Amino acid sequence: MKTLIKICGLNNETAVVTAAQNGADMLGFVFAQSSPRYITPKQANNLCQLIPEGIKTVGVMLHPTQSELETVLDQVKLDYIQTDAEDFDLLDLNGDSKPLKVYRDKAGFNVNDIDDNPFALFEGPVSGVGNLVNIKRAKEACENKQIILAGGLSAENLKKVLQETVPVGVDVSSGVEIDRGVKNEQKIIEFIRIVRAFDEGVNNE
């Protein structure tokens, strides 16, 4: 078993190279202009040139229109587009990008509504604020669906969260930052190390 690791909100060469060289499986670029981690599609395309084959790229958007989606995909090739699950009802990806559907722990949420083909992302009500996802609800989702877990994960809580939920993957952004939108190399390395140590322990049981 190998837990997928997604490092999100990358916006500079050092962070991209650090994540790629130390074992991240997916790298996320934020195209929501309201985010402190926002980069342009052109900037993302330049960063993608540094990514070795086999590591997946994710474009993170927030309720995009079809026009906004096409503007991004015209400028950068991405393996996945990530936005809220209901947004995809109004979007046509028109190409090689696959949907990474986000499901939020909010009123009315039902784990049976999750479309996890090939997997889905589960997090708290609001993205990018560093609040830890509800572990009880996360565990329920991970037990029933192929879930990449997001929301407030960091080196301080990661091992416990992994043990309690056993997700298919984990997604971190603010948890590897020293300031909003500013990634830290050592935090990225430590986060990945903890996940791989967990994987090794599970595989040796």
Residue type, 55: I
Per-state percent for the chain, helix, strand, coil, to nearest 5: 35, 20, 45
127-171: per-residue pLDDT in tens? 766 678 889 999 999 999 999 999 999 999 999 999 999 999 999
Among 51, 6, 9, smallest CA distance to 182 is for 9
Confidence at residue 73, expressed as pLDDT on a 0 to 100 scale: 97
Report which DSSP code applies to 9: -
Work out the average pLDDT over 26-44.
97
Q: Per-residue pLDDT for 30 more than 80?
A: yes
Work out the average pLDDT over 55-64.
97
Q: How far apart are CA 195 and CA 87, in angstroms?
A: 30
Confidence at residue 128, expressed as pLDDT on a 0 to 100 scale: 62
Other C-beta atoms closer than 10 Å to the C-beta of 50 total 13
Report which DSSP code applies to 92: -
The model's confidence at residue 97, banded by pLDDT at 50, 70 and 90, is very high
Three-class SS of residue 150? coil
Domain ranges of the chain: 4-203
Q: What is the model's pTM?
A: 0.95
Which CATH entry fits the domain spanning 4-203: 3.30.70.260, 3.20.20.70, 3.30.1120.130, 1.10.150.120?
A: 3.20.20.70
Report which DSSP code applies to 56: E
Q: Per-residue pLDDT for 177 more than 90?
A: yes
Confidence at residue 106, expressed as pLDDT on a 0 to 100 scale: 85
